[in-house]
Structure 1
Amino acid sequence: MFERYSRQVLFPGIGEEGQTLLQNKHVLVIGAGALGTGNAEILVRSGVGKITIVDRDYVEWSNLQRQQLFTEKDAENHIPKAVSARERLEAINRDVTIEAHIADVTPAEMEQFVSGVDLIMDATDNFEIRMIINDAAQKYGIPWIYGSIVASYGISYTIVPGTSPCLHCLMEGIPIGGLTCDTGGVISPVVQIVVGHQTAEALKILTENWASLRRELISFDVWENEQSTVNVDKLQKVDCPSCGKEPIHPFLSQSQTKTEVLCGRNTVQIRPASKETRDLERVAANLSKLGKVEQNSFLLQFKANHNRMVMFKDGRVLIHGTNDATEAKSLYHKFFG
C-alpha cells in the first residue's frame, strides 16, 4: 500500500501512521505561481489525499523561469495556471484528488473554499488576499502557512489559530507598495527554499506532529547569505480584530476592490459587480467585428490599439497596456458592456 511512499514512511516523523493521515487530509493552495506549483507538487508526491488549487491568472512566458509544472505550450496557448497545474499533478500521482478553480479570491469565495480543508497554503502575491486567508483561517480554526518571495529574499511563517499570533497581529492593515517580483525580479533558488520551509511545516501539521512546528518567523536572503528567525509570540494582541478575544474578522466583511492595478505589469484587472458566467463564444463573435480575437476553452484575448484585453469565464477582464483604472474601466465598458 505504501510502496511509492516507502522512503517517506521510513522517516520516523511520519511512518505508516503519518502516511495514513496524509492520505485523509485536504489542502487548499491559494495561488498557482512559483510557490503554489512548488508546494502543490511536493504535497501531491507526498500522498496528500486532496489538493484544491485556486488561481486567477494564466501562464505567460515570464513564468517559465521559476514556476514549475508549466511548459512553453502552456504559455503559447495562455492556459489558466490552475488548469495546467492540475493536469501535471494528476500525471504525477493519480491517487490524489486535484480540484482546480480559475477564480479571484473574494471573502465570499474564500469561505466556500475552506469547507472541509485541513490546511491552507499561501502562495499569493498580494496582502489583500493574505488578510482574507488569515481571517478565514481564524474564523474556522484552520492552520495556514504564509510564504513570500521577491528578488533573492524569502520569508515563511506558520500560523495555528488559538496558538500563534495571526498575520493581522504582525501587520497593522494591508501594506501598500513595496518591492514585488514584477518590479524587483526574483531568482528561482529563493522559491525552492521557501517552498521547502512551507512544505516541511505542512507535513508536520498534516501528520499531526504539532510539537515539531517552528514557532518563529524565518527570513533569508540567498544572495547576501543572510538568515534570521524572529520569535513573534509577544506580538500577539488580545484586541486583534482577527484573532483576539472578540474577533470580528474584518477582511471577510470588506468588499474587494472591483478595479485593481496589478503592480509592475502595466495591467488593470476589472471584476463585474456580481458573480456571473460569461458566454465567451458570444463575446468573441461580437468582438471579432472590431478586431482580432483569440480564444480557448477558458478565456479570450482581444486587441484594440495598444491594449490587449483578456476575459475569463467569470467575467474578469485583464486590461494590459495601462495602469490607469479610469482608462481601463472605459475600455471595459466599451468592449465588454
Structure 2
Amino acid sequence: MVERYSRQILFSGIQEEGQVLLGNKHVLVIGAGALGTGNAEVLVRSGVGKMTIVDRDYVEWSNLQRQQLYTEEDAKNHIPKVISAKERLEAINIDVTIEAHIVDITPAEMEQFVPGVDLIMDATDNFEIRMIINDAAQKYGIPWIYGSIVASYGVSYAVIPGKSPCLHCLLGDIPIGGLTCDTGGVISPVVQLVVGHQTAEALKILTENWSHLRQELISFDVWANHHSSINVEKLKKDACPSCGPEAMYPFLAYHDHTKTEVLCGRDTVQIRPPSKETRDLEVTAANLAKLGKVEQNAFLLQFKTDKNRLVLFKDGRVLVHGTNDAAEARSLYHRFLG
C-alpha cells in the first residue's frame, strides 16, 4: 500500500527500493517495556515485514507513565505485555506479521528465536540478557542494537558482527549493581530519544544503507544537558570470547544463566523451574484456591498469601512478590507449587 508509506518512500535514504527491502525483513524485539514498545511501534508503522516480540512480564500501573502501547485496562487485568502489544500493533498495521511470546529469555530460548531474523532490538533491563543477545548475535552473524535508559540518561550502540566491537569487548563481564529504573526512576523524554536513535539505525540496517551507520556509542543526559559520542573501534578485542576468532560464546552456556533472580527495586524474586515445563493453570488454580485467594486470566494466575503474592505463568515461571530474599522465595515456591 504505497500511500501508507508515501512520505517514507519520498525520503532519499529509503525510496521504493528500501521500502521493499524493509517489507521483507524480520525483527526480533527482546523486551516489551518502554524501549520495546517504542521500537516496535516505530518499526511496525514503518512497514517491517515481520516482528517477533518476547517479554516475561505483565502490565503494571507503574508502566503506564512511559510504555506507550498499554492502557489502564491492561494494568487492571495484569495482561502480559506482549499480548497487549501485539493487539495494539496489529491495530496500527495489520499487514505486519507479529508473533508474541510470553517467555523469559535464556540461552535456549534465544537460540530458538534467532533463526531467520535480520535484526535484534535490545529493549531489556539487565545485562545478563544483553550478554546472551550479544553472544547469539555473534554466533549467527545478526546485527543488534543496544539501548539502555535510567533516570534521564540514555545509551545506544549498533553492533555489527565481524565489523564493530561487541558488547563483551566493551564491558567485559556482566556489570554488577548500579542505578536502575526501579531505584533511580526514569522520565519519558529519555525513552523517546533512545528509541529515536535505535530505530534510525534499525532503518539503515533493514534497508541495507550500511555506509550511513553510526560507528559510535552515544550517550546523553536530557536533564543535565550532556551529550557524547564515543568512537569504540579501538576497543575491539582480538581475544574476545564472544566475537574473537576462537569465540566460545560463554553467555550461551546454560550454567551461566541464573534460575533464581532478584528483580532489583521491585521487592520481587523470579524463579524458573529446573527444566522446561507447561503448567495447567486451571488445575493449579483449583489446588491453590483451597489455600488462599486466586485470580486468573488466560495467561497467568495470581495467588495471595498473608504477605506475598505469587504470579505463575504457563511456562512454570513464578514471580514471588513481597520479598527480596531468594531463599524465602524458593521456600514459598516449593510450599505452594511443589
User: Aligning the two structures, in what range does the TM-score lie when normalised by the shorter sequence?
Assistant: over 0.9
Matched residue, 1:49: 49
Contact 2:106 2:254 in 1 (8 A): no
Residue-by-residue CA offset, 1:184-205 (whole Å, 9 max, x unaligned): 0000000000000000000000
Output the TM-score relative to the length of structure 2. Answer: 0.99
CA RMSD of superposed structures (Å):
0.5
Matched residue, 1:309: 310
- How far the C-alpha of 1:267 sits from its partner, in A, is 0.2
Matched residue, 2:333: 332
Residue-by-residue CA offset, 1:137-157 (whole Å, 9 max, x unaligned): 000000000000000000000
Give identity over the alignment, percent: 81
- How far the C-alpha of 1:40 sits from its partner, in A, is 0.1
**Runs of 4+ in structure 1 over 3 Å off:** none
Matched residue, 1:140: 140
SS in 1 for 2:304: strand
What is the identity, as a one-letter code, of the residue corresponding to 2:213? L
TM alignment of 1:15-34, pairs within 5 A: 15-34=15-34
What is the identity, as a one-letter code, of the residue corresponding to 1:211? S
- How far the C-alpha of 1:242 sits from its partner, in A, is 0.3
Matched residue, 1:229: 229
Matched residue, 2:182: 182
Matched residue, 1:195: 195
TM alignment of 1:151-166, pairs within 5 A: 151-166=151-166
SS in 2 for 1:128: helix
State the alpha-carbon separation in 2 of the partners of residues 257 and 198 from structure 1. Answer: 28
SS in 2 for 1:51: strand
Structure 1, unmatched stretches of 5+, are: none
SS in 1 for 2:316: coil
SS in 2 for 1:168: helix
State the alpha-carbon separation in 1 of the partners of residues 284 and 254 from structure 2. Answer: 31
Residue-by-residue CA offset, 1:5-45 (whole Å, 9 max, x unaligned): 00000000000000000000000000000000000000000
Residue-by-residue CA offset, 1:199-237 (whole Å, 9 max, x unaligned): 000000000000000000000000001000000000000
- How far the C-alpha of 1:254 sits from its partner, in A, is 3.5
Residue-by-residue CA offset, 1:250-278 (whole Å, 9 max, x unaligned): 00113321110000000000000111110
SS in 2 for 1:149: strand
Matched residue, 1:261: 262
Matched residue, 2:282: 281
Structure 2, unmatched stretches of 5+, are: none
SS in 2 for 1:3: coil
Contact 2:204 2:213 in 1 (8 A): yes
- How far the C-alpha of 1:297 sits from its partner, in A, is 0.1
Output the TM-score relative to the length of structure 1. Answer: 1.00
TM alignment of 1:79-90, pairs within 5 A: 79-90=79-90
SS in 1 for 2:19: helix
